[in-house]
Structure 1
Amino acid sequence: MTAAQQQEPNVPEISPTRQATRPRTHAEINEFRRKSFVEGALRSLAEKGVSGTTVSTICKAAGSSRGLLGHYFQSKDDVMVAALEHLFGGISESVQRALDACDGPAADKLLSMPAALFAAPAFSDLNRTAFLALWHETRFNPRVRAANRQLYRGYIARTERLVAAAAAETGAEIDARQVALGFIALSDGLWLGLSIHDDVMTGEQAIGMCRDYLRRELRIE
């Protein structure tokens, strides 16, 4: 991580979501509007936190009206759940792209995972600050907590399968689920720590710690 990356998160002030390409069909228009509210919610969460995020701040960031939001979401909680799903899904997709780009065996793919977690686009300022707000919200909002649990079940299952495939290659006799859970706990803790105070360690150190854990558990030289 460069010195510039170690500065305080630089979250842009709320401004309306910009349209990349003009939607034409009714379905495209609905998808664009819904996505604009979700992305507006993430920007508001990153700038203002959950307590400062309201229907008004979401609509301002989305460049739309309160009335229009009501066509797509019944409540602020609905938007929070959709925002978490969108954020989690985007990070998962960026990590999967990095794994797919690795031409090596499963062990190599697994060892490439930490770098994908702690580099752009997954580890962006917006993702970091929005995730901090949503992680905190899981303590108090049953709907966000339930959505988070479901998303994490999928994350654990995918990581467990990759760990099991890597262990089969290296001949390591392990409990793949336990190793996957340990890796996720370690990487999440480092992700959180770097998001709060990134003057304590660097992204490279976080990546190294995660890789050391995986190498140790899977007997990878």
Structure 2
Amino acid sequence: MATPLSSARKKRGPSRIAIERRRDLIEAAIRDIARNGYATVTVASICAEAGFSRGLIGHYFTNKEELLLEAVKTVATELGSAIRDAANAAKPDPAQMLHALIHASFTPPGLTDEKIAVWVSLASSARWSEQLAKIYREIWVDYRSGVGRLFTRAAEARDVAINASHVALAFSQLVEGLWIGLAANRSSINANDAEHCCHHYVDLILDAKTQSPASAAPAPRKRRALA
């Protein structure tokens, strides 16, 4: 028969040190994935990145795959939280919420070089991993649903007819395609230009009479009078 003390011990969650070690390993895995790609990460490379012995992973994760999946989920969660927070801060105007969402999608802390690299690894590896594919599908189903609702509300406010599901699909692929471009070709694509492309897309879909600040054309320079 279990005593009250033994029952309390069983209910007790992981220790602070255990939580910190798990987080250290997840962050090391994120850096390792960003540097070397999902498929090439090993237990040894993760432990070397974290500065821990190889045996430590077994104390906190069932196997390497569980740790890598947690790393991918962490990046997706952090990016999603930054996007939601930015959109919520722009309430109640749904169009401004879309523009805020875009800005958060191409600036820290929502998006960083490491997050871009991990996302590209997720997208490119999902075809060969059912677990990754499940994460990938769930992220985009939720994302497109939320974006579609914002486009619907913004379009209704402007009396513009749209197919919200198609618009949200195209928008999500535009964002992801630009992320991939940023990861692959920083010499010709930068985050600022990528963000502006998405602002322009929203303005075109909504046929906005007033452009977003980010997509407006720069003001002409004033000429100095000749002496």
Q: Give TM-score scaled by structure 1 length.
A: 0.80
Choose which of 139, 144, 156 in structure 1 pairs with 2:144.
156
Q: Does 1:70 align with 2:54?
A: no
Deviation at 1:26, TM superposition (A): 3.6
Q: Which runs of 5+ in 2 are unaligned?
A: 1-12, 210-227
Aligned length: 197
Match in the other structure for 2:3: none
Q: Counterparts in 2 of 1:1-221, with a 5 A limit?
A: 26-103=14-91, 105-221=93-209
Deviation at 1:64, TM superposition (A): 3.0
Conserved? CA contact 1:85–1:151, under 8 Å:
no
RMSD of the TM alignment (CA)?
A: 2.0
Higher Cα radius of gyration = 2
Conserved? CA contact 2:122–2:136, under 8 Å:
no
Q: Give TM-score scaled by structure 2 length.
A: 0.78
Match in the other structure for 1:21: none
Deviation at 1:88, TM superposition (A): 0.7
Q: Name which structure has the greater RCO, CA cutoff 8 Å, separation 6+.
A: 1
Which amino acid counterpart does residue 129 of structure 2 have in structure 1? Answer: N
Deviation at 1:103, TM superposition (A): 4.7
Which amino acid counterpart does residue 153 of structure 2 have in structure 1? Answer: A
Residues 169-206 of structure 1 deviation map (CA, whole Å, 9 limit, x = unaligned): 22222221211111001111111112110222332322
What percentage of aligned pairs have identical amino acids?
28
Conserved? CA contact 1:110–1:166, under 8 Å:
no
Residues 156-181 of structure 1 deviation map (CA, whole Å, 9 limit, x = unaligned): 22222222222232222222121111
Q: Which runs of 5+ in 1 are unaligned?
A: 1-24
| 2:118 aligned counterpart, secondary structure | helix
